[in-house]
Amino acid sequence: MTSGTVAGIVYLVGAGPGDPELLTLRAHRLLQRCDALVYDALVPLELLELVKEGCELHAVGKRRGQHSLPQPDTNALLVELAGQHRCVVRLKGGDPFLFGRGGEEAAFLVENSVAVEVVPGVTAGIAAPAYAGIPVTHRNAGSSVTFVTGHEEIEKGRPGVDWRGLARSSDGLVIYMGLHNLRRICGELLAGGLAPHTPAAIIQQGSVNGQKQLIASLMDLAEEAEAQGFGAPAIVVIGQVVAQRVPACAPLPAPVTMPQPLRGD
């Protein structure tokens, strides 16, 4: 991305949705040779076993209400490590540039003269539905899909998600971090004109052991999720693509060690 004056390079690496088999070759090679690894909470422990002996490990994962390291401190840590090591891997669940704050970290590193390279990963918004047999696009179920975060941190000057507008403008929704606000999200989509019987799904722990899914109508989704104890990490899919589900084509979740799911997200 840039050539900085600090000797080390920071690689912003996508770990994928959880199944280690979905890790890219580039990511695998970097994990094997990095001198320092900074990783998130949703990274399977099996990936940590790929690093060489002597590699520094820094856990900075964020879960709702359980931030192990504030984002500004994570940014500063990456700059510090780049000054000490030639190869630093910042390992993020899914893809670093999709709701992963990778853009913020990359900008901060460049501003501090640190070389950065982005290594894309398989995002959970596509992989988790696939592991439940749900295609996020289908020519018989609409021509658009929107990826959106359901975890709104209302900040001054930052508008919230226009759910009613999305109900009218997108054929399908893939919602990250949406369980905590699911009841409100569903209510807003219904108020925006989405039909109560619109097919919807939740996939928890997608692609790894512990995966489970819920298929319901939009009007019943939040109540059923609460009744069945669904928790994070989870992906919510809303739209006619859910009706195109083909369970027989879904791959088997991987038997890996993942962080325990939390209620909500």
Which residues participate in catalysis according to the annotation? 40, 62, 177
Angle between helix axes 182-191 and 218-227 (nearest 10 degrees) is 170
What dihedral angle (degrees, nearest 10) is formed by the CA atoms of 146, 91, 211, 177? -40
Tell me if 174 sits within 8 A of 215, measured CB to CB.
no
Read off φ and ψ for residue 216, nearest 5 degrees.
-155, 175
- Locate all alpha helices (DSSP H) within the chain, ordered by sequence: 25-33, 45-48, 71-82, 102-111, 124-131, 163-169, 182-191, 218-227
Contacts of residue 189, defined as CB under 8 A and 6 or more positions apart, other chains included, come to: 163, 164, 166, 167, 173, 198, 218, 238
- Of 205, 206, 207, 242, the residue nearest 221 (C-alpha): 242
Residue that is written with structure tokens 């076993």 in the block: 49
Phi-psi region of 113 (alpha: psi -120 to 50; beta: other; left: phi over 0): left
